[in-house]
Structure 1
Amino acid sequence: MTYENIVALIGKENEPLLTHACTTVTKDQLHLPSPDFTDKIFLPSNRTVQTLRNISALFHNGRLSGTGYLSILPVDQGIEHSAGASFAPNPLYFDPENIVRLAIEGGCNAVATTFGGLAMVARKYAHKIPFIVKINHNELLTYPNRHDQVMFGSVKDVWDLGAAAVGATIYFGSQESTRQIGEVSAAFEEAHNLGMATILWCYLRNNAFKQDKADYHVSADLTGQANHLGATIQADFIKQKLPENNGGFKALNMGSSSYGKLDERMYTQLAADNPIDLCRYQVLNCYMGRAGLINSGGASSGASDLKQAAITAIINKRAGGMGLISGRKAFQRPFKEGVELLNTIQDIYLEKKIDIA
């Protein structure tokens, strides 16, 4: 897709995203994605030689190979949202081989999905595309539903599958988050010892985060802090939802209760209302970009998916992020259209006219 095609796709109302200049924290202070990102950022770290090799494998696969950017296909919705609800729009993805095929034909750097799915096809595909094995999930069969991530296997199982990376979720802000932090911290330590990279879904879950018709699960300040916690437990890459608002700490501090800590400069100097500035605040909390920020593609909404995916990619890239991890928008449509959507995302990261704000 050419630059002109991208401009036409996002529409005139979104063209300002292509020219916005970020004046909060400038791009020269960030650790930006680059072809030599592994050498610059991870080589001086405590990561083992085997881990460096697997981080490099993630960067050197698919259409974005060698750019420092990542395009990942994640499909854990069969557990997280029920298989029927997730795959009814396209039942061929009940077969996990088609998930891997979509990632390969879609030009992705890697595929992220479940133990069982990857185990079924490991010998056929582990040497063809890097595997990211999701080790914990929130299952929605317990009644009533609750928000908790539980382990579905061991880090050794991930290594036995020939995976390049371990993926995990922590529901920061939930009552169970303290236990999850301990479990995932231990898992990431073992993963690095065995030579695998680590990717953390830094999601927020707490009913109190919805205040006055605003959903602060996607506020820049709260998601930014979740990112910082993720980087602290040595996640090499952070998966986070794109921020849609700000001021979560302020909203939760209303009334007599006290929650968290804030500084007004978080909202005046480090972030602004523009979507790119809000996303940049997320990048800042990923150790200024040392832990790559990969924003999620979000739910599928039908005909507007291609446009929304392109807008999300532009915001992430111009903010200093490292790529997109987009699942439902790709697999909940015909196979060929899923490939085209993934390629459109990748074209934005390949387009030199779309630069860092």
Structure 2
Amino acid sequence: MSATGLSSARIEELLGDDAGELLGFDSPAFSSEQLHLPGGDYVDRVLRDSDRSSGVLRNMQWLLDSGRLAGTGHVSILPVDQGIEHSGGASFAPNPMYFDPENIVQLAIEGGCNAVASTLGVLGAVSRRHAHKLPFIVKLNHNELMTYPNSFDQVMFSSVQRAHEMGAAGVGATIYFGSADGRRQLVEVAQAFEEAHRLGMFTVLWCYLRNDAFSGDKDYHLAADLTGQANHLGVTIEADIIKQKLPETNGGFRAVGFGKTHDKVYSDLSSDNPIDLCRYQVINCYLGRIGLINSGGASSGASDLAEAVRTAVINKRAGGMGLISGRKAFQRPFAEGVALLQAIQDVYLSKDVTVA
């Protein structure tokens, strides 16, 4: 039994038929020796020499020193902003207690998370009680789907100044790269991140792809090369953490027929192994100078634990910084949500799950 809640045998059991491919993978296309890997000294070793202010460094260190993963350089973040895009009913009907922001923050605390990310309204409702205890990440923009017909757009719901006044440690935002409004979003978020850094808050970018042209024989919204380029655009506007969906395929540039790529992306920098696909995302985050966190995805029910552990194993072995998982946790009873969040953290605490 490891020192964590999940034994190595239990992790293997949850990985099922993928255990050998994921835990035994030892020949990555791109060596981890060339990466800036997460660690307890990440802020001093990697971020200190950047143009980030002492306030940003302090809040990043607070993030890394919080929760069960404190001191590891890895993060487990609870994001609950789905009530806007997915609707409050669709998100919280399984557990109406989460209509109350207090329970959202309590889930993050009891779950041992490094931070909680949510809307201005949710975090503002309980900020005086909790903002000095747990790092708050205010999500600035959202895609509300009450406007019809729906579009791939993100609208600013709040300001950086308001998040700062609340006592937030960081701000988050989404850009839909590839969408008709993506360039406007890029400008808005770049300006917001610049202000956040000026005020001492770190920045988290939801780097998502949205374009019908990215869907063909496969869903290339999940291609390593296209998501990798989205990451590269995200770090260009100085996101401190990149949130990205776990890649499931590759060859997006070749399939969609526009943009530029290089054959060595597929021959030298990646392979078909899920860890290599995720590592290409890390590569595009300045070789790991900026941390990559992968999203946990929608709740599938009974398979949620296995899916979350699999994503955590891939992210950690690829050189990623952690996981941001919401619906898998808050769409189940409170105690089960806590257990799922801590199972994710156990993967990052396990000495048997190493960087490939």
Q: Fold-level match, TM-score > 0.5?
A: yes
- Any conservation in 1 of the 2:154–2:175 contact (CA below 8 Å)? yes
Q: Match for 1:206 among 207, 211, 214? A: 211
Return the offset for 1:12. Answer: 3.9
> TM-score, length-normalised on structure 2?
0.98
Task: Tell me if 1:187 matches 2:192.
Answer: yes
Q: Match for 2:224 among 212, 220, 231? A: 220
Aligned to 2:3: none
- Any conservation in 2 of the 1:22–1:277 contact (CA below 8 Å)? no
Aligned to 1:335: 334
Q: 142-151 or 18-27: which moved more?
A: 18-27
The 4+ residue runs of structure 1 with deviation greater than 6 A are none
Task: Tell me if 1:51 matches 2:50.
Answer: no
CA distance in 1, matches of 2:158, 2:81: 14
Return the offset for 1:51. Answer: 0.8
Aligned to 1:29: 34
User: Deviation string for 1:187-232 (max 9, x for gaps)?
Assistant: 00000000000000000000110012x1000000000000000000
Return the offset for 1:16. Answer: 2.4
Percent identity reads 65
Aligned to 1:262: 261
Residue pairs, 1:1-357, within 5 angstroms: 1-212=6-217, 214-253=218-257, 259-357=258-356
Return the offset for 1:295. Answer: 0.2
AA in 2 matched with 1:289: G
User: Deviation string for 1:101-120 (max 9, x for gaps)?
Assistant: 00000000000000000010
AA in 1 matched with 2:226: L
CA distance in 2, matches of 1:94, 1:82: 11
| Partner SS state of residue 11, structure 1 | helix
Aligned to 1:256: none
CA distance in 2, matches of 1:327, 1:13: 24
- Any conservation in 1 of the 2:52–2:197 contact (CA below 8 Å)? yes
Return the offset for 1:10. Answer: 1.9
Structure 2: runs of 5 or more not aligned? 1-5
Return the offset for 1:22. Answer: 3.4
| Partner SS state of residue 53, structure 1 | helix
CA distance in 1, matches of 2:17, 2:270: 25
Structure 1: runs of 5 or more not aligned? 254-258
- Any conservation in 1 of the 2:204–2:241 contact (CA below 8 Å)? yes
Matched length:
351
- Any conservation in 1 of the 2:152–2:180 contact (CA below 8 Å)? no
Return the offset for 1:13. Answer: 3.7
User: Deviation string for 1:279-302 (max 9, x for gaps)?
Assistant: 000000000001100000001000
